[in-house]
């Protein structure tokens, strides 16, 4: 969940004090790593999922303030725009019937959200980019009222010396435009999984998450359209990277140091390296004085880390007794298409990352990082049609990789966690059917649009109807 801040205007002294506290807290975290202070509990999974509020004509509905007031649930919070919300479910240990419980928890929350939205003559919708969204919808008038969002917008524009965002995406079609603020980010909604791990195993899990970014973004692709243009299978990726791009103050010549980034290399010895990078390479965006909070809560470090949007990101949290813990956030997947697809996506990731992290020799020695990053962008662009280079230099299609290697690997990973075998079969079978048929959310949208004369409203209404049916996307009809 995003952290609210008390104000959005800052002085030079605010930045200086924030840097000093960030240095202090980074040093404290380093001491915790050295003294093995982080929780030894691992295998706890959770997720957050962003959603759209849409009206009966399938247009974005800027209603999140009144919606959230009526729902009154701390697990559902605002997002950047007034037509987006974020849903959270409780983290659970990854064993037994956890997949089914995750599904039940999400479905219960989803149904309550739909009831409240219905009272406002609206619906809640899970999709990476809303097809009916227009550039003019992404105005500051539609920015949520949190000071955090205003401050990020002001600080990014200050760093860019007032220059607008420049968007250039070359896919099936080409889209070029400029936008005056960071509201382009509001066009992207995602499904982000969290996994609690120990400090000792974190490097292997983080590097495994990097390697898995390509097949995960391909199999979950659900964002082929932006402003009426057919672009990448997962257009969210270039849109988010370009929508909050910074110039100056960072090594903008190296994509590994951009604010939204895949990174510039594997973790070598400890994920502490990533927090050290945060301190060394990323100027603060939100220099808020949080000194009223105990330094042991790392308030400045955690706030700063929340303004660096790695596609895989380390997070520091705390147990009920105050013991710090470490989580890895996997951010590459879009929202949707259905609730069963969502849990199946989580199951695939949890099984794969556990199996790959425990592989010997380590994945970082079997897949060059440059190739790992190239795989990710190829998969985001071409989805299940992408060709990638996998471990030991093997070149193959993502579909072949998933069917021949990754689905069996995920099954072994989940069963090794003592997950219910029936649940494992049920959810991974949804992935297998999706891959074998080639029918991802992105594929279904493109095919529907081709059959229905590029009618974006018809597409969005049909998508919403099928999502509400509860059927997985591979079973969705086109007529």
pLDDT digits (tens, 9 = 90+) for 105-116: 999 999 999 999
**CA pseudo-torsion sign 424, 430, 435, 437:** positive
* pLDDT computed for residue 3 by the predictor: 62
Query: Which domain does 386 fall in, by range?
Result: 12-42+140-472
The string of pLDDT tens digits covering residues 436-453 is 999 999 999 999 999 999
Q: At what angle do helices 272-281 and 12-34 cross, to 10 degrees?
A: 160
CB 207 within 8 A of CB 236: no
Q: Give a yes or no: residue 91 inside a domain.
A: no
Q: Flag whether 90 is in a domain.
A: no
Q: Contact 383/443 with Cβ under 8 angstroms?
A: yes
Backbone φ and ψ of 311, nearest 5°: -65, -25
The answer to whether the bond into 337 is cis (omega within 30° of 0) is yes
Over residues 199-216, mean pLDDT: 98
- Where residue 120 falls (left for φ over 0; alpha for ψ -120 to 50; beta otherwise) is alpha
pLDDT above 90 for 75 = yes
Look at residue 379 and tell me if it is in a domain.
Answer: yes
Residue 55 lies in a domain: no
CA–CA dist 133, 136 (Å, integer): 8
Predicted local confidence at residue 4, as pLDDT: 58
Q: Supply angle C-alpha 51, 53, 58, rounded to 5.
A: 115
Distances (CA, A) of 325 to 164, 227, 298, 363, 396: 39, 41, 12, 24, 38
Give the predicted TM-score (pTM) of the model: 0.96
pLDDT beyond 90 at 60: yes
Token code pair at residue 196: 């609690």
Given a cut of 80, whether residue 359 has pLDDT beyond it is yes
Does residue 72 form part of some domain? no
Q: With respect to residue 22, please indicate whether it lies within any of the assigned structural domains.
A: yes
Is it the case that residue 71 has pLDDT exceeding 90? yes
Q: How many helices (H) and strands (E) does the chain have?
A: 15, 16
Biggest alpha carbon–alpha carbon distance for the chain: 63
85 falls within a domain:
no
pLDDT at 10: 84
The upper half-sphere exposure of residue 20, i.e. CA atoms within 13 Å in the direction of its Cβ, equals 9
Total length of the chain: 479
- On whether residue 258 sits in a domain, the answer given is yes
Q: How far is CA 78 from CA 87, 144, 186, 331, in A?
A: 9, 7, 11, 18
Q: H-helix or E-strand containing 114?
A: helix 98-119
Mean pLDDT (the chain) is 95
CATH number of the domain encompassing residue 31: 3.30.590
Q: Considering its fold, how many domains does the chain have in total?
A: 1
pLDDT, residue 63, reads 97
Check residue 256 and give its pLDDT.
66
Res. 49 pLDDT band, cuts 50 70 90: very high
Quote the tokens at residue 1.
């969940």
The answer to whether 428 and 411 have CB atoms below 8 angstroms apart is: yes
């Amino acid at each position: 969940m995003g952290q609210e801040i008390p104000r959005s205007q800052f002085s030079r002294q605010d930045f200086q004090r924030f840097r000093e506290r960030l240095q202090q807290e980074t040093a404290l975290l380093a001491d915790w790593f050295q003294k093995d202070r982080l929780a030894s509990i691992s295998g706890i999974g959770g997720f957050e999922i962003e959603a759209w509020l849409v009206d009966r004509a399938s247009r974005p509905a800027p209603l999140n303030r009144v919606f959230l007031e009526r729902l009154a649930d701390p697990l559902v919070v605002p997002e950047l725009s007034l037509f987006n919300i974020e849903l959270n479910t409780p983290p659970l240990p990854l064993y037994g019937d956890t997949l089914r419980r995750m599904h039940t928890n999400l479905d219960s929350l989803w149904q309550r959200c739909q009831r409240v939205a219905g009272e406002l003559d609206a619906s809640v919708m899970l999709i990476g980019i809303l097809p009916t969204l227009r550039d003019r919808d992404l105005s500051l008038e539609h920015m949520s009222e949190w000071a955090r969002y205003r401050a990020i917008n002001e600080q990014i524009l200050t760093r860019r010396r007032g220059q607008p965002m420049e968007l250039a995406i070359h896919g099936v079609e080409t889209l070029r435009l400029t936008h005056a603020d960071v509201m382009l980010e509001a066009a992207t909604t995602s499904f982000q999984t969290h996994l609690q791990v120990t400090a000792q195993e974190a490097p292997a899990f983080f590097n495994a998450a990097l390697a898995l970014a390509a097949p995960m973004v391909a199999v979950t692709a659900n964002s082929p359209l932006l402003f009426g243009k057919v672009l990448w299978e997962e257009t969210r990726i270039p849109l988010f990277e370009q929508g909050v791009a910074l110039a100056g103050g960072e090594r903008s010549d190296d994509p590994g140091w951009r604010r939204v980034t895949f990174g510039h290399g594997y973790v070598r010895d400890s994920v502490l390296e990533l927090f050290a990078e945060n301190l060394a390479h990323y100027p603060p965006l939100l220099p808020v004085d949080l000194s009223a909070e105990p330094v042991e809560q790392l308030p400045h470090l955690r706030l700063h880390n929340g303004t660096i949007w790695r596609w895989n990101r380390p997070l520091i949290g705390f147990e009920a007794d105050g013991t710090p813990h470490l989580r890895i956030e996997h951010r590459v997947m879009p929202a949707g298409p259905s609730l069963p697809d969502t849990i199946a996506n989580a199951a695939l990731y949890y099984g794969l990352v556990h199996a790959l992290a425990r592989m010997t020799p380590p994945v970082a020695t079997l897949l060059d990082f440059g190739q790992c990053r190239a795989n990710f962008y190829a998969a985001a662009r071409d989805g299940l049609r992408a060709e990638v280079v996998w471990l030991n230099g093997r070149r193959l299609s993502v579909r072949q990789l998933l069917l021949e290697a990754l689905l069996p690997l995920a099954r072994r990973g989940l069963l090794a966690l003592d997950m219910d075998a029936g649940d494992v079969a049920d959810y991974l079978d949804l992935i297998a059917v999706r891959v074998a048929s080639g029918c991802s959310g992105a594929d279904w949208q493109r095919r529907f649009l081709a059959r229905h004369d590029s009618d974006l409203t018809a597409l969005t209404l049909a998508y919403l109807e099928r999502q509400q049916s509860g059927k997985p996307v591979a079973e969705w009809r086109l007529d």
